[in-house]
Amino acid sequence: MVRRRVASFGYAFQGVWSALKTEVHLQFHAAATVVVLGLGLYLGLARWEWVAVVVAIGAVWSAELVNTAVETLVNLVSPGYHPLAGRAKDVAAGAVLVMAVAALAVGLLIFGPKLWALLA
């Protein structure tokens, strides 16, 4: 039982790593994550600010991974063009866009005033 649970974490990490190696958008999100975490450390975010930033990062990564899974599955079951396959892929990509815009709003609300104060 424990061995299967541990193995399932391994498969999950393999999935993240596989997507990270092949998906340009996820690589962009990874780079943005490093920048945001570094900036948060530099600016000394409060605990509640870290919570918002970490939740936003996790949500964007999750949306991107689900989008990758949807695109992969759609490509498997519909290798040729089909309007419904295209719609499924577009909707999944739209979910990533919505979450990324929400994460950007979180970033602007948290980092904006701190960066503005440094520049002023």
The answer on whether 114 is annotated among ligand-binding residues is no
Which residues are within 8 A (CB) of 44 and not within 5 positions of it... i.e. 6 or more apart?
Answer: none
The answer on whether 89 is annotated among ligand-binding residues is yes
Q: Of the residues 26, 61, 63, 64, which is catalytic?
A: 64
| Active-site residue, 49 included | no
Alpha helices in the chain (DSSP H): 2-22, 24-43, 47-77, 83-119
Which residues are within 8 A (CB) of 109 and not within 5 positions of it... i.e. 6 or more apart?
Answer: 52
Q: What span, in angstroms and rounded, lies between the C-alpha atoms of 31 and 2?
A: 34
The answer on whether 5 is annotated among ligand-binding residues is no
The answer on whether 42 is annotated among ligand-binding residues is no
The answer on whether 49 is annotated among ligand-binding residues is no
The answer on whether 23 is annotated among ligand-binding residues is yes
Binding residue positions: 4, 11, 23, 64, 71, 89-90
Binding residue positions for a divalent metal cation: 23, 71
| Active site amino acids | 64
Binding residue positions for substrate: 4, 64
Binding residue positions for ATP: 4, 11, 23, 71, 89-90
